[in-house]
Amino acid sequence: MKPIILTLIGNDKPGLIESLAQKVYSIEGNWLSSNFSHMAGQFAGFVELNIPADKHQGFVEYLNSHPDLTIHSVSTESADESSDNVAQIEIIGNDKPGIVQELTSVLHGFNINIVKFTSGCESAPNWGSLLFKAQATVTIPEGFDTDQLTGALEGVANDLVVDVTIK
């Protein structure tokens, strides 16, 4: 089996995931993980698959000719698992331009890798303004001082609430 990562985008409509899943099944591939979203009328997502090595080229040709999706594929080798700890960071605050840039700049300053990041805005109860929420899964080195990270993240804006949980 050969690992492959796909990014997908196209006009949202029923059957997009099914068409891809059907092709993966037909070539005896294995669907490992995925994440899909509807954004601004578009379907977007990414998928991690294992494809039999002898069917890899034909699968890539199928991806390049998919009628409804623009698909980018990257073949990869299995990654070594890191010995770093995983931390969950939750951020909530009044929405304003630059929050993601400020947060990622702090994480980069500590040389912390983001392995998953989700964010969105919703109406704040009782205020009527937008509330920004984000969840990040990051890897941190053994013995890292998370209080220092929490302080730095809270320091980027005085209206953010930050919670860091090490797992």
The highest-level CATH class for domain 2-75 is alpha beta
Predicted confidence at residue 77, as pLDDT, reads 78
CATH superfamily assigned to domain 85-166: ACT domain (3.30.70.260)
Q: What are the backbone dihedrals phi and psi of residue 47, each rounded to the nearest 5 degrees, phi first?
A: -140, 140
Greater pLDDT, 163 or 135 = 135
The pLDDT tens digits of the residues spanning 32-42 come to: 999 999 989 89
CATH 3.30.70.260-classified regions of the chain = 2-75, 85-166
Q: What is the pTM of this model?
A: 0.74
CB-based contact 34:47 (threshold 8 Å): yes
CB 52 within 8 Å of CB 30: no
Dihedral angle at the C-alpha atoms of 118, 121, 122, 126, nearest 10 degrees?
120
The pLDDT, as a whole number, for residue 146 is 84
Residue 89 burial class via C-beta count within 10 angstroms: exposed 0-12, middle 13-18, buried 19 and up = buried
Res 90 pLDDT > 80 = yes
For the chain, the average pLDDT equals 87
Query: 76 pLDDT exceeds 80?
Result: yes
| 117-154: pLDDT as tens digits | 999 988 877 777 888 888 999 998 888 888 888 888 87
pLDDT at res. 149:
85
